[in-house]
Structure 1
Amino acid sequence: MTIKANVDFKDAIAGLDKLSEVRAKLARSMAVAGGKVLRDEAKMRAPVGTDEGGSKNPGGLQRSIYVAYRDKASTTAKQVYAVSWNAKKAPHGHLVEFGHWQSHARYKGKDGNWYTGAKLAAPKWVPAHPFLRPAMDASMAQAREVMLQRGRERLPELLAGGGDADEL
């Protein structure tokens, strides 16, 4: 006895094609959600200098922290985002995060501005006030949960073709 079956896989293949189309969009949406958690934690932890303490732009480092897509590091298999600070807005962020040697004296002029003065006889170590690395350590578990939740929300939207396809 022979049983013949004519099975049409067009719908199944179309469904798989749909999955491959939404994969990168889903990954990006999830990564943005997790990145926002890390960014917000880093902003909360970033030190805010004071004018009296020599800061030219109090809160500038905190305001410069962002989450951004890294196109060159991303591939079809992975989507890469970075959480960092804008070095143009906060050019000394790395000195705060990692610490540094202070080689020159700083003083406040009569005009109220801060200046770099004479070279110190012996360089002075200015300790780090890390904010980005501790933010990652403290919020990674929450970021994972937020990413999974975003995936649960976004996947049905993308599969149904509803919502803005470019919405993250």
Structure 2
Amino acid sequence: MSVQRIFIFIIIALFLLTSFGCAAGTVAEHQGKKSKGKSVQGWFDPLALGDDDIIINGLPMPSFNSEREDTSAIDYEAMTKGYRVQIYTTQTLYEADSILVRADSLFLGEAYLRFDPPNYKIRVGNLISRSEAEQLQRYARTAGFPSSWVLRTNVFLHPRKKEVEPPESEEESEQ
């Protein structure tokens, strides 16, 4: 035999040994054995975890507009259960940022952007009572956010700057 044929024979033999050596066991071998691990049944809903109770102390709120007033005097650690009104949901950051700027001026600087993949959520207010939150929801609907709704979450304890007033209607502005 020539050296070339021996070399080809060795290559083919190694290929076959590797192929058969990596083959899995047959189904008959595994049918009689029970798995030692636990089986997973059902489904998992991450929204049911209630992660609104998690408060990360010492981190400042993100600022999306550098022209906002100085908030360094606000104690971000002072939080409690309260209410906010979610006014808008979108999947694009650009749209969320433009709505946030609009909401910041309409709601006296109490607008917040939250990202829960894949949605950006714009929420407003730091309210303790549900009745105040419902009043803010009515204002949000008249201000152009018809799908706004009240939700219970953690809110900051710093006081609001002004009372919320409903926007003027067209009839009132003509007088």
Instruction: Bin the TM-score by the shorter chain.
Output: under 0.3
| Larger RCO (CA within 8 A; separation ≥ 6) | 1
More helix by share: 1
Task: Using structure 1 for the length normalisation, give the TM-score.
Answer: 0.26
